[in-house]
């Protein structure tokens, strides 16, 4: 009995050791970044990472001397617009694929699905020209317009809507509800969870956009934060590491908080995307 207990205890110890080492590896870049963001740049440059004074000066500098707040606001607005529009258009399209009977429905569905095979990265040249022709370069509209719908979103919501019992539709038909009313009053509330998941995803992917805003934004008034940091890195004294780390921290902390509370939806979204 004792041997077994001893053995279990040992195994537990090694297991915790492994978990802690792995956590340390994952967290190290965060920790290093956050720690250096608290140090004076002179200390960082001369390699005095410990023992010096720590302060929030870099944060203050980043907030007052750089347009980081403006970048953040731009990013939040762009991501929010993209998210709302995607929820709306994707759910409408998914509704059509599940509840409306029309000719060549399958053809349209595969047409939509096929766009998942075409990477946006390979189409930036004509899209750039299109947005330029619309006169929408360097504008929120130009940033959001190409991403107002997504094949992934349509596909995911279609799977979700298919779970709605068709009897519900028949009951609403008997009550005389139109498609629009059924969509608003039944389908959307019924699939709330999937909509939250799509919301999380579309927000996050808009937030992480890089190539498109880099090509189409020229001023700090429009520039979202990903490209904004690039701008800081190249324009500002490249060696002001303290301030750059502080800017990175300012950006990452809110997303970590959102992620912490949104965990559940991300996870259920993964399952829907991966399993169904």
Q: According to the binding rule CB under 8 A, does residue 69 interact with another protein?
A: no
> How many CB atoms lie under 10 A from the CB of residue 49?
12
User: How many whole angstroms separate alpha carbon 118 and alpha carbon 65?
Assistant: 41
Distance between CA atoms of residues 52 and 62, nearest Å = 20
Q: Which DSSP letter does residue 137 get?
A: T
Residue 36 in contact with another protein, rule: CB under 8 A: yes
Total of chain residues touching another protein, rule CB under 8 A:
94
Q: Tell me: does residue 123 bind another protein (CB under 8 A).
A: yes
Q: H or E segment at 259?
A: helix 241-275
Question: Is there binding between residue 80 and another protein (CB under 8 A)?
Answer: no
Tokens in use for 54? 């720590």
Q: Does residue 119 touch another protein according to CB under 8 A? A: yes
Task: State yes or no: residue 169 binds another protein (CB under 8 A).
Answer: no
Tokens 């340390």 sit on residue:
24
CA distance 246 to 37: 5
Q: Which of 10, 22, 163, 264 binds another protein (CB under 8 A)?
A: 22
Q: Which of 89, 140, 190, 196 touches another protein (CB under 8 A)?
A: 89
Using the contact rule CB under 8 A, the part of the chain among 52-60, 62-70, 96-104, 162-170 near another protein is 96-104
Tell me if 33 contacts another protein by CB under 8 A: yes
Considering only residues 183 through 222, tell me which ones interact with another protein, judged by CB under 8 A.
183, 207-208, 210-211, 214-215
Q: Could you say which of 113, 164, 186, 193 contacts another protein (CB under 8 A)?
A: 113
In three-state secondary structure terms, 193 is: helix
What contacts 42, CB < 8 A, 6 or more positions away? Answer: none
The reply on whether position 251 binds another protein by CB under 8 A is: yes
């Amino acid at each position: 009995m004792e041997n077994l207990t001893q053995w279990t205890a040992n195994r537990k110890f090694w297991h915790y050791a492994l978990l802690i080492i792995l956590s340390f590896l994952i967290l190290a870049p965060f920790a290093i970044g956050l720690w250096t963001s608290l140090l004076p740049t002179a200390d960082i440059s001369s390699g005095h990472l410990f023992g010096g004074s720590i302060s929030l000066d870099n944060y203050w500098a980043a907030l007052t001397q750089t347009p980081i707040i403006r970048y953040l606001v731009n990013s939040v607005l762009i991501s929010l617009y993209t998210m709302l529009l995607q929820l709306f258009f994707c759910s409408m399209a998914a509704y059509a694929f599940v509840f409306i009977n029309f000719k060549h429905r399958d053809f349209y569905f595969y047409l939509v699905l096929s766009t998942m095979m075409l990477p946006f990265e390979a189409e930036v040249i004509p899209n750039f020209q299109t947005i330029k022709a619309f006169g929408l370069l360097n504008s929120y509209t130009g940033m959001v317009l190409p991403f107002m719908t997504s094949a992934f979103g349509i596909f995911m919501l279609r799977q979700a809507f298919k779970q709605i019992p068709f009897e519900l539709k028949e009951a609403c038909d008997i009550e005389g509800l139109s498609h629009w009313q059924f969509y608003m009053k039944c389908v959307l509330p019924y699939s709330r969870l999937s909509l939250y998941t799509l919301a999380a995803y579309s927000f996050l992917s808009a937030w992480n956009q890089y190539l498109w805003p880099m090509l189409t934004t020229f001023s700090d008034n429009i520039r979202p934060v990903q490209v904004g940091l690039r701008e800081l890195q190249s324009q500002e004294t490249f060696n002001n590491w303290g301030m750059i780390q502080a800017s990175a921290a300012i950006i990452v902390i809110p997303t970590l908080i959102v992620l912490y509370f949104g965990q559940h939806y991300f996870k259920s979204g993964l399952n829907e995307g991966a399993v169904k």
